[in-house]
Homo-oligomer: A and B are copies of this chain.
Amino acid sequence: MRFTTEQHLDDGVVERAFTLGEIPGILWTPASASAPVPLILLGHPPLGLRTMYPRLVARARQCAAEGIAAATIELPGSGGRPRWAGAEQAGADLRRTLEAGEQVSDEIIDALVLPLVDRAVPEWRTALDALLSLPDIGGPVGYSGGVISVGIRLALVEPRVVAAGLFAGSFVPRRMVEEARQVTVPLHVLLQWDDEGNDRQAALDLFDAFGSPDKTLYASMGGHAGVPQHAGEDAARFFARHLRQ
């Protein structure tokens, strides 16, 4: 892990860009931490870190206000990172299906999501190794956001992730629903009730599937990008409850 830039944001949060091999990432740490702090991994849709930056830094500031560090990495195939054979094809198949107004098949969803999960989750774990070796990051660790299938797999295989705040999305492979049944960490799931890109019933079924005894569904009005401020605040409190001990 190599830090490339460091800047102090106006509220004292320290933002450090890094690279982890070929993977770019960003780490935000709270202003005045006297002891090692907990960490939240900020998940995001595969739109590239540059596009996602304004929303990511806003979420990182919310974490910092709770005394929690936040970090994110570029997803494989996003930003400037190389795509793999099949990714372009799956994306093209999805667009064609949506434009034709047809039902998106399980095959397309699997081809779109499963290789991304298989590639991204080991990278998040490698990032976690590096981040937890820093003197100012102590854990415990939470995962927050999308891609929900990445969050499911990470919550399942990575014992250092002790709480997950997930953003309900469609296009969840059946296999990931099965993996969700085995997830047991405390869970806070945000659902936008009128999400134009989201099948509400599929999201409710996925929430039902999670094996976690402590899980909350927080559904708000509005479309995909319309998460109200109080939903973000309540998610922040979920993490504060589980990470600040």
Interface residues of A (CB under 8 A from B): 193, 204, 207-208, 212-221, 228, 230-231, 233-234, 237-238, 241
Given the contacts A219-B216, A219-B217, A237 and B230 also touching, CB distance less than 8 Å: yes
8 A-B pairs with CB atoms under 8 Å apart are A193-B208, A212-B221, A214-B221, A216-B218, A216-B221, A217-B219, A218-B218, A230-B241
Total copies of this chain within the assembly: 2
CA of A233 to CA of B218, assembled, Å: 14
Contact assessment for A216 and B230 in the assembled complex, using a CB-CB cutoff below 8 Å:
yes
Question: A230 near B238 (CB under 8 angstroms)?
Answer: yes
Tell me if A217 and B193 are in contact (CB < 8 A): yes
Least CB distance, A167 to chain B, in whole angstroms: 15
Max chain B C-beta neighbours (<10 A), residue from A193, A216, A220: A216
Known interface pairs A204-B204, A208-B193; A221-B230 also in contact (CB < 8 Å): no
**Residues in B whose Cβ lies below 8 Å from that of A231:** 216
